[in-house]
Amino acid sequence: QVQLVESGGGVVQSGRSLRLSCAASGFTFSSYAMQWVRQAPGKGLEWVALISNDGTYKYYADSVKGRFTISRDSSKNTLYLQMNSLRVEDTAVYYCGRDPRYCIGVSCYLGSVDYWGQGTLVTVSS
């Protein structure tokens, strides 16, 4: 069965760095794009970043662009999120997710998430 397990969260001071990991199993990791989505305490879902299945293409929310880097290692079936220059407003539960790239007819679409990890909490203190 598909499993995604995040790790690396914790408490960090503003301006410091943290790297999140997401270990994937139960599917062919290299065949799927992957995403990070976060949720601030008591708030809604916010998309953070997406990486293509082969790591060639990477996309970011404006709120993290230039500070966060998404990457993947298919030899380890692991997705990463390197977070630099952290801010108090980055405090959130960070979820990794598998992008199924649904196809309808001849058209295929990235952007939804069919499997989610349990999340890892990042707390940025001032």
Partner 1 sequence: EIVMTQSPATLSVSPGERVTLSCRASQSVSSNLAWYQQKPGQAPRLLIYGASTRATGIPARFSGSGSGTEFTLTISSLQSEDFAVYYCQQYNTWPPITFGQGTRLEIK
Task: Write out the residues near partner 1 by the rule CB under 8 A.
Answer: 35, 37, 44-47, 50, 59-62, 95, 100, 102, 104, 109-119
78-83 and 18-25 as β-strands: parallel, antiparallel, unpaired?
antiparallel
What's the closest the beta carbon of residue 126 comes to partner 1, in angstroms?
A: 26
What's the closest the beta carbon of residue 40 comes to partner 1, in angstroms?
A: 12
Rg for the chain (alpha carbons), in Å?
A: 14
Residue 13 vs 118, nearer CB to partner 1: 118
Q: State the amino acid at position 72 in one-letter form.
A: R
What's the closest the beta carbon of residue 64 comes to partner 1, in angstroms?
A: 10
What's the closest the beta carbon of residue 111 comes to partner 1, in angstroms?
A: 2
Residue 50 vs 124, nearer CB to partner 1: 50
CA dihedral 85, 82, 44, 109 (to 10 degrees): 130
CB 37 within 8 A of CB 97: yes
Residue 16 vs 102, nearer CB to partner 1: 102
Among 87, 98, 95, residue whose Cα is nearest residue 121: 95
